[in-house]
């Protein structure tokens, strides 16, 4: 039984960094689902007897040029295929208009969403994650994709949903 997890968020929040940390060299498949745009990267990881299939998507934007829209469509497709959506935001910037657009898109979807505050490299940033409560997805899981902080807690949170 594989749990499919789509990593979604605006550009630069750290989606690919998390994907690489979770999947590392175990990128089993690299699927090319769009000719012109970036590929959708898919890779598996095992955690406490479960298998998670992560999908790294391009940055989702509610508006933009033709390429942005193609990347966004690809992300929406990953969202439709996913059992769980991992909605990533950046504690260093706080909530942006683009995050609000992503939130709106994800609220239209019925399945479960885990809100992840990335770039929480140090506990001094921990208190800032509550700003993201306004996105309407409950308590964020604070992680640092770059340093691997709390990524085990994140996998536990994903496991509890499925
Ligand atoms: P994506 O566009 O969402 O896929 O974001 P990337 O994974 O490409 O990361 C965007 C930038 O944020 C890069 O410069 C990363 O090195 C940086 N970054 C990613 N994760 C972290 C983190 O946990 N802490 C810090 N300080 N920077 C990070
Ligand atoms: Mg990326």
Question: Is 42 annotated in some ligand binding site?
Answer: no
Question: Are the C-beta atoms of 5 and 55 separated by less than 8 Å?
Answer: yes
Q: Is 118 annotated as a binding residue?
A: yes
Structural domains of the chain sorted by starting position, each given as residue range(s) with its CATH number in brackets: 2-161 (3.40.50.300)
pLDDT digits 0-9 by tens, 100-144 = 999 999 999 989 999 999 999 999 999 999 999 999 999 999 999
User: Which residues touch 38 (CB under 8 Å, ≥6 apart)?
Assistant: 58, 71, 74
With 90 as the cut, is the pLDDT of residue 38 above it?
Answer: no
The response to whether residue 11 sits with its C-beta less than 6 Å from ligand 1 reads yes
Q: Which pTM does this prediction carry?
A: 0.92
Question: Residue 161: which pLDDT band, with cuts at 50, 70 and 90?
Answer: confident
Q: At a CB cut-off of 8 Å and minimum separation 6, what does 65 contact? A: none
How high is the pLDDT of residue 67?
85
Please give the Cα distance from 44 to 19 (Å, whole number): 10
ipTM of the prediction: 0.99
* 46: Cα within 13 Å, side-chain hemisphere: 5
Q: Is 93 in the pocket of ligand 1 (CB under 6 A)?
A: no
* Mean pLDDT across 23-43: 58
Ligand 1 closest atom vs CA 13:
3
């Amino acid at each position: 039984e594989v749990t499919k997890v789509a990593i979604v968020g605006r550009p630069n929040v750290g989606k690919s960094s998390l994907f690489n940390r979770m999947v590392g060299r175990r990128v089993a498949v690299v699927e090319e689902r769009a000719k012109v745009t970036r590929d959708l990267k898919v890779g598996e990881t095992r955690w406490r007897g479960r298998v998670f299939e992560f999908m790294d998507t391009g940055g989702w934007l509610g508006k933009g040029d033709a390429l942005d829209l193609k990347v966004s469509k690809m992300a929406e497709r990953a969202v439709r295929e996913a059992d769980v959506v991992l909605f990533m935001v950046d504690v260093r910037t706080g909530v942006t208009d683009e995050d609000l657009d992503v939130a709106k898109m994800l609220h239209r979807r019925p399945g479960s969403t885990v809100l992840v505050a990335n770039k929480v490299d140090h506990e001094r940033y921990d208190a800032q994650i509550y700003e993201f409560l306004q996105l309407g997805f409950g308590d964020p899981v604070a992680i640092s994709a770059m340093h691997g902080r709390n990524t085990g807690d994140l996998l536990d949170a994903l496991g509890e949903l499925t």
